[in-house]
Every structure is written in C-alpha cells, then in structure tokens.
Structure 1
C-alpha cells in the first residue's frame, strides 16, 4: 500500500489529491512541519520534520515523502509524476511527447512560479499580510509572477487543460503551486483563462476530497 508522509496543510496536499484522483488506497502518516512547533525535538512533540524517526525516511527533513513498496521518494511534484506514470490512465502521458510536456510544465511550476507563491502564502501564515513589510513582500511576489502568469494565460487561450484535451498531472501540479497565490484575487481576475482553468481543477471531486481532509486538520498547533 502507498504510504504518504505529511499533513494536508503542506505540499503533501498535492500527493493526497493525486492519490484521490487515481483512486489509490493509501496510508497517511501525519508529519508536521517543525516550524509549527515550539520545541520540535521535545520528547512529547508529535512526529515532525525534525523527528529522528522521520529523518530515517527523508534525510532532508521535508514533507511530503512516500513509500511505495520498496521505493521511497521525496519532492511532491516528482512523486505525482511517478504516480501518474505508474498507474497510467488519463492523468499520465499517452505518448513520449506528452510525458515530456508533463515534466516540462511541472518543472516550470517549481522553478518559475512556486518561489513567489510560497512567499505570498508564508506572509499570510505568519500574519504579516497587513504589515508594511508583508505588503511589500506580496507586491514584489506579484510583480515577479507577471511573466509566468502571462505565459500560462497565453498557453490556455483556446484550451481547457495544460497538456492534451484532458486533466492531467500537469494541471494538478500547477494548480497546487498557484493555489498559494489565490489570496491575491486581482492577479487571477487579470488572467481570465487561468482563473477559469483553476476553477475547473478545483471543482473536481478528488480535489474536494483532499480539501475535506485538510479542513479536519488544525490550522495551528
């Protein structure tokens, strides 16, 4: 059985969504981010990214990780590409060319978009969105997102999905990276193709199942 290490309120959400899309039976091992705990190394601390037991799974002390049989993997977007390829179906590439595009768009999301969307979401997580410093960070991130958003907006013109004519792992991976910036409604309103596309992604039953799991976790520890 697939084992997913990580909480829903983390990048593990992407893997939980993917498992739901594929209809996979999985075991969830909640691993908290150490930054959410006052003393992550305390004897009574819950399993977290600084726990010795988790370091045995992922020496980088980051979530998510998975164990699938004898295989242990880290990095959420790579995990999803692996699961799509292993289990096949419409979420996976149907040709070598599609496989290449799924990988390209996932790497694009990680390298060109996620650094800025993470800056936005962490500003909110730290309660700084209304401070002068926080507003400056968010504004700078939104400026940095102009070029990648323009590229994706153009790519989606006349298309429903990122690759091919169906929802794939590329849509899932990119939608989860962009979700971190959805607090900035003006950015999405200025890109109607992206706004309509992410709404399609987030209307899927598997996404809603993931969000249901997320809603059951405490926002704070």
Structure 2
C-alpha cells in the first residue's frame, strides 16, 4: 500500500502532514507547489480537478480539501503507531466535526487575511488596515473557543485529536494577533498544540519548501 500526500508543507497541506506525523504513518510526500501553474497540469488535474493542494492518495482513494484530508487520515489510520486522533464515540465525533467546520466557516478567511497582510506578503503589498480589520472580525469566534476551553484542555474529549489539529492549523495564522492575550485559555491551548513534535517536524518541512 502506498500513501501519498501532495502539497508543499508551507500550505494547507500542513494539515494532513501534521496528522501523518502524529500517527507515525509511512507516506510519500510529493511537495507539489501551487504557484506557476503547477497544479493546472493534466497530471495534477487528474488527481484534483479543482487544481488545488493538498491531495491525499491512499492507494487510489483520492481525497482533496485540507480539512477533509486531515479527517480522512485520522479515521483511516486509527492507532497506527500512536494514540488515535479519531473519535472513540459519537459525542467526540460530533465535537470533531463541528469544530473542524467551524474553523473553516468562522475563522479561516479572516485568519488568512491577517496572515497575508501582517506576515506573508512582501511589505510593499501589505495593507495593514486589512490585517487590523480581520483581527477585529475574529474576536467573536475566538471568544466562543475561549469559552469552550474554560473547563477542558482539548477541543474534543479528554485528549489531543484531529479536531485540535484542524482548529490549531487555522489559528496558528493569527497567533501573534493583538487579540490573543485577551483569551488566555485559547492562547495556552494553541501554544501547546504548536509545540507538539509532529507540528515542529511539519514546520521544518515548510521551511525547506519556502524560498529564502
């Protein structure tokens, strides 16, 4: 069996890569870039007709969309060399699904805007006011997660799961936002997630895939 993960680690492909490293999976990493038309070739469009990374190829089973990739791998490889990241009951599954989708619908757009205009884009192209506005729009969502974490250390259940990966992978983009100190439980949870060895390994992959 061959498991392949397509996409440079400095992209949303970091999500399935993080799951793979948490579970100790043997996989082939295809560091597919997203620039320069690389995802518009006939070969890549045969994997994902939308022309986006990441793509997971599990011995011919194709999965796209980064959150779907992460959730698929967690469910597919339960207990592969590590404690399972998947739900162990219906209540945990409900938490995993709702918070993973919450991260996309309530946070990702503004988190990405903040990242691009505060860090990622060349300074001459940044519009600081857009980063400020995005951080302000995130406050209600961050408050919801802060309240959720008041009596728990993880998003779902009593252990680290794929829900923590899905949500942390989005909120990592705004870790330096001025709003974060207002939410100490959220900030502490995010710091712990990003300090995990698997996440550190994925960041190392990302540095190698980012031009200096």
Match of 1:2 in 2: 3
Question: Which residue of 204, 208, 211 corresponds with 2:196?
Answer: 204
Match of 1:162 in 2: 155
Match of 1:52 in 2: 42
Match of 1:62 in 2: 52
Which structure has greater helix proportion? 2
Q: Normalization by structure 2: what TM-score? A: 0.92
Deviant stretches of 4+, over 4 Å: none
User: Residues of 2 paired with 1:97 and 1:118: CA distance?
Assistant: 30
1:114 aligns with 2:104: no
Cα displacement (A) at 1:120: 1.4
User: Residues of 2 paired with 1:175 and 1:164: CA distance?
Assistant: 16
SS at match of 1:180: helix
Match of 2:183 in 1: 191
User: Residues of 2 paired with 1:142 and 1:169: CA distance?
Assistant: 25
SS at match of 2:95: helix
Residues 83 and 139 of structure 1: CA distance in aligned 2, closer, same or farther (over 3 Å): same
1:10-62 residue CA offsets vs partner (Å, 9 max, x unmatched): 0001111110001100001121112xx4xx3xxxxxxx222222111111011
Cα displacement (A) at 1:127: 2.2
Cα displacement (A) at 1:193: 0.7
Match of 2:64 in 1: 74
1:86 aligns with 2:76: yes
Q: Normalization by structure 1: what TM-score? A: 0.88
User: Residues of 2 paired with 1:23 and 1:78: CA distance?
Assistant: 19
User: Residues of 2 paired with 1:164 and 1:4: CA distance?
Assistant: 28
Further displaced range: 92-101 or 106-115: 92-101
User: Residues of 2 paired with 1:5 and 1:122: CA distance?
Assistant: 23
1:125 aligns with 2:120: yes
Match of 2:22 in 1: 21
Question: Which residue of 82, 86, 96 corresponds with 1:102?
Answer: 96
Further displaced range: 14-23 or 118-127: 118-127
Match of 2:128 in 1: 135
Q: How many residues align?
A: 206
